[in-house]
Amino acid sequence: MLTISQDLVDKIVAHARADHPDEACGVIAGRDGVPSRFVQMENAERSPTFYRFDSLEQLRVWREMDDRDEEPVVIYHSHTATEAYPSRTDVTYASEPNAHYVLVSTREPDDHEFRSYRILDGVVTEEEVKIIPGEG
């Protein structure tokens, strides 16, 4: 189960809406599996159907997490025209075995889907999301 603050959910959804119609992406860093620090990243593809972290930005962000004794607790991105479910490409690129992979669908202008998955060895498992009040 992913337990995440309403504040962090709001930041992810706002980023997804701001980048629409392109996919948005980023990371929530934290310690001991607790998501706490929102890190908005650039979609190097600038595409409505695909996302990729810029390799230099990813290196910088991962080094910063190491320096702060953090890990990527959540890796998120948006789907702009489809449901919030990992594509084959998403599964292929899932390389953090301990991360929660959050997808937000922005296909509906006045609503969104917010779902979380574990992706390990090509197997996708949806998990419950518990949203708690407060800030991350």
**pLDDT tens per residue across span 48-81:** 999 999 999 999 999 999 999 999 999 999 999 9
| Tally of domains within the chain | 1
Residue-range definition of the domain harbouring residue 6: 2-132
Residues 86-103 have pLDDT tens digits of 999 999 999 999 999 999
Report CA-CA distances (Å) from 8 to 32, 50, 71, 104.
Answer: 17, 23, 16, 13
DSSP β-ladder status, 25-31 and 71-79 = antiparallel
Going by pLDDT thresholds of 50, 70 and 90, the confidence category of residue 135 is: confident
CATH number for the domain that contains residue 25: 3.40.140.10
Query: What is the Cα–Cα distance from 90 to 21, expressed in whole angstroms?
Result: 18
Neighbours of 53 (CB within 10 A): 21
Check if the beta carbon of residue 116 is closer than 8 Å to that of residue 52: no
pTM, rounded to two decimals: 0.96
CA distances from 109 to 38, 57, 102, 106, 122 (A): 23, 30, 19, 7, 31
